[in-house]
Structure 1
Amino acid sequence: MPHQVGPSLAVALLILLVLALAASWWSRLRLEKSLAAAAGRAVIQLGLVSLIIAGVVGRVGWSLLFASLMFAIAVFTSTRRVGAPRAWPWAALAMAAGVLPVLLTIFLTGAVPFNGPSIVPMAGIIIGGVMNGHSLAGRRVFGSLRDEYGSYEAALSIGLTRPQAIGEVSARHLPEALVPALDQTRTVGLVTLPGAFVGVLLGGGSPLQAGAAQVLVLVGLLAAESITVAVAHRLIKQALLLPPDLAESLRP
C-alpha cells in the first residue's frame, strides 16, 4: 500500500497497466480497451470517493447516507449484470435481507464501534459481498433455466407447480454463488491476507486485532451472502426476480 500519493505511485500504476495490456495482447484476449477503461475509471472513481469519504466519516448521519448510496449502486449494478433491471425492487429486497442483519449484529454487539469511520468500510465490504453473491446466483440460475428449459417443462408435466419446477432446475446450481466466499474463508492466512487484516496492521493494530477483524468480516460475508442467495432463490421461484425473457417463458 503506498505511503503517499506521488510520482512513484503513478509510475507503479502505469507499469502494472502496461503488464495487463501486454498480457491481453499476447494471449489475444482483445481486452486492451476494457482494461485501460477499467483502470481509468478506478482511478477517477476512487479519487472522488476518497474526497467524499473524507467529508462524511466525521458524522454518523452522513456515513449512513453514503452507505445507502453504495447499496443503491450495488443493486443497480447487480440487476444489470443478471439482465433483470426491471426486477430491481426484488433484488434490493434480497440484498437488504443479507446486509441489514449482518451490519446490525456487528454494530449492536459492539464488535465494531458505531461511528462514521467504521460504518463506511464495514458497509462497503458487506454490500460488495452481497452484490457479487447476488450476481453470481442470478447469472448461474438464469443460465441454467434457459439451457434446461426442457427439464422445467418436464417438471410441470408431472404436476409440479411453477416454483417447484423452477427449483428443480435451479437448486443444484445455486451453491456455486457462494464458492468465492467459501474459498476466501477457507484459505485466509494460508493463501491470502485480505484487506481487513492488512488494513488493521497498516493502521497500527496488533496481529491479533487484525486477525479478529478479518474473521469478523469473513464470517459476516458468509452470512450476508448466504441469506441474500437464499432470499433471491425464493423470489426467483416465485417468478418475481427474473429477466424479461424468463418471466415470459416460465409460465405455469
Structure 2
Amino acid sequence: MTTLSVHLVVALAVLTALAVVVAALSRLGTARPDAVAVARAVGQLALVSLVLTAVLGRVVWSLAFAVVMLGVAVATSARRIGAGRAWPWVLVAVASGAVPVLVVIFASGAVPWTGPAIVPMAGIVIGGCMSASSLNGRRCFAALREERDTYEGALALGLEVPVAIRLVISRHRSESLVPGLDQTRTVGLVTLPGAFVGVLLGGGSPAQAGAAQLLVLVGLLAAQTVVVVVGSWLVERGRLVPTDLVAATRRRGGPVEPWPAEGAQPGLR
C-alpha cells in the first residue's frame, strides 16, 4: 500500500518532470498546465484528506460532501462546454444520471450506507457523469457549428427547431460513451481500474475487488447513458446551449439565430 514517504515524493517528482520535459521538448504547449495540474492535485488532495477525516464519520456530512462534488462537477462541465450561463441545465443532465444510479446502488444493499462508502462511490459516479456531459456537449456543439447548412436546410423544409437540431447531433451522441464502453469491454484484459486496485490495496480478496469493479463499471455505463440522452434532449430544446450558439430561445424551444457572425470565436476553451 502506498504511504507518505520520501519514496513517494521522489516518484511524484520524477513523473512530473517526465511529463513536463516531454511536453516542453515536443512543444505540445502543455508543460506549464501539467506542472500546475500536479501542484493543484497535491494541494487539493491534501485538503480533501483532512476534510474526509472529519466527514467520513457521519453519513450526513458524507452526503454534504457528495453535494459539493456534484456542484464542482457541474461547474467544471458547464465551463468546459462553454455554457456557463446554462449551468442549471448541466446540473439537470448530470444529476439525472448520477442520482438514480446511486439510489439503486445503496438501496439495493450492494454497498453499505456509510460515510466511507458514500463518498468514494458518489465521487466515481458523479465524475463519470461529468465526463459524459462534457464530451457530449463538446461533440454536439462542434457538430452544430460544422453542420450549419444541414440545420438551416432542415428549417427551410419546415422542420421544427428541435427536430433540425436532432438531425445534426443524433449520430454524434454515442461518441461520448466510447471511453466507458471500451473500459467495460476490456476490464481485466487491458486495465485493472481504480475500484479493483483500491479494494485489493485495502485488503480485500480478488473476488471482492472484481465485484466492486463490476458494480462501478455497470453503474457508470447506466449513468453516462442517461446523461447523454438527457443532455442531448436539452440541447435540442435550446435549454443547454453555449453562449456563442444562442441569440434567443423564442422559436419552439430552440435557438432562433444559433450561429455567431463570421469570424466569431466559439466559446469552448
Q: Could you say which TM-score interval applies, normalised by the shorter chain?
A: over 0.9
SS in 1 for 2:235: helix
User: Matched residues, percent identical?
Assistant: 57
Distance of 2:158 and 2:26 partners within structure 1: 50
Q: What is the Cα deviation at residue 30 of structure 1?
A: 2.3
Mapping 1:115-130, distance limit 5 Å: 115-130=114-129
TM-score (normalised: structure 2): 0.91
Distance of 1:80 and 1:153 partners within structure 2: 27
Mapping 1:30-179, distance limit 5 Å: 30-179=29-178
Residue 207 (str. 1) matches residue 201 (str. 2): no
Distance of 2:110 and 2:235 partners within structure 1: 34
* Cα-to-partner distance string for 1:229-248 (whole Å, 9 max, x where unaligned): 10001100000000122122
The worse-fitting range, judged by mean Cα deviation, of 31-40 and 122-131 is: 31-40
SS in 2 for 1:248: coil
Higher helix share: 1
Aligned residue in 1 for 2:263: none
Distance of 2:244 and 2:97 partners within structure 1: 27
Distance of 2:166 and 2:195 partners within structure 1: 36
Runs of 5+ unmatched residues, structure 1: none
SS in 1 for 2:142: helix
Amino acid at match of 1:212: A
Distance of 2:92 and 2:28 partners within structure 1: 37
Aligned residue in 2 for 1:238: 237
Q: How many residue pairs align between the two structures?
A: 251
Please list every run of at least 4 consecutive aligned residues from structure 1 whose deviation after the TM superposition is greater than 3 angstroms: none
TM-score (normalised: structure 1): 0.98
Amino acid at match of 2:220: L
Q: RMSD in angstroms over aligned alpha carbons?
A: 1.0
* Cα-to-partner distance string for 1:162-201 (whole Å, 9 max, x where unaligned): 0000000000111110011011111100010001001111
Q: What is the Cα deviation at residue 54 of structure 1?
A: 1.3
Alignment counterpart, residue 251 of structure 1, candidates 230, 252, 256: 256
Distance of 2:29 and 2:160 partners within structure 1: 45
Runs of 5+ unmatched residues, structure 2: 249-254, 258-269
